[in-house]
Amino acid sequence: MISRSNIVDGSKPYIVEDRPMISRSSGDRVKILHLIQPGKEETGCLTCFYAPPSFPAIISHLLPCIDYPEYILREVHSSQYIYIRENSIEVNQPTIQPARSESVLGNVLCCGHSSTDLIVLDQVTVIYYDDLIMDEIRNDTRVCNPLQTFCCGGKGEEVRLESTFCGGLCYRGRRGTRGCFGCCCMPLCIPVGCPECLCPCAARVSVDVYRFC
């Protein structure tokens, strides 16, 4: 049972003295100041058609001439958003994952997943303005982006939020109590050229937008 003392009065500002950035102008909501149009994923010129809805998902993923079924691409595009909130930035950059299997055969052969049906996997990131990752915001769009998008596909223009030092040669580490390889509260120096898959602790986030400016 929820105690009345734990209910926030929505008519009054919500103030957090220990961390003011968490405060809100209204107790029961977070005000959205602006909406930014997210980047839309586009396939390259090699893609000829959408896969049928009942097409095996793994084939449409591997063949460059076949895109995912149109229904799942519409769901992904509809799920994307970038909110500039009063105290933070909220971004959803969803991906695609297999749906659950409804048959015994699918559970056995595909480890509980469907071989044809796909669903959206939301990936929501909230970054408060006092986060060190807000130290630098820059345009990191690749060179000749329209041409590369036509040839190989793309996701719009890329905005990079990051925190660097040593003249921009290294990223700061960002995960304190649960850092890379299980380290705890260990300062990390991560070279800027290190791929994100190898250095998930680097203080950097990429956001795909329709147009940077």
pLDDT in tens, 148-184: 999 988 999 999 999 999 888 899 887 654 444 444 4
Averaged pLDDT score across all residues of the chain: 84
Q: Scanning the structure block, which residue is given the tokens 């909406």? A: 35
| Token reading at 194 | 């290190």
Question: How far apart are the C-alpha atoms of 107 and 99, rounded to whole Å?
Answer: 11
pLDDT above 70 for 38: yes
Report yes or no on whether pTM surpasses 0.85. no
Question: How far apart are the C-alpha atoms of 68 and 51, rounded to whole Å?
Answer: 5
pLDDT digits (tens, 9 = 90+) for 94-136: 999 988 888 787 777 778 888 888 999 999 999 999 999 999 9
Residue 186 confidence (pLDDT): 54
Whose CA is closest to 86, among 129, 34, 31, 130?
A: 31
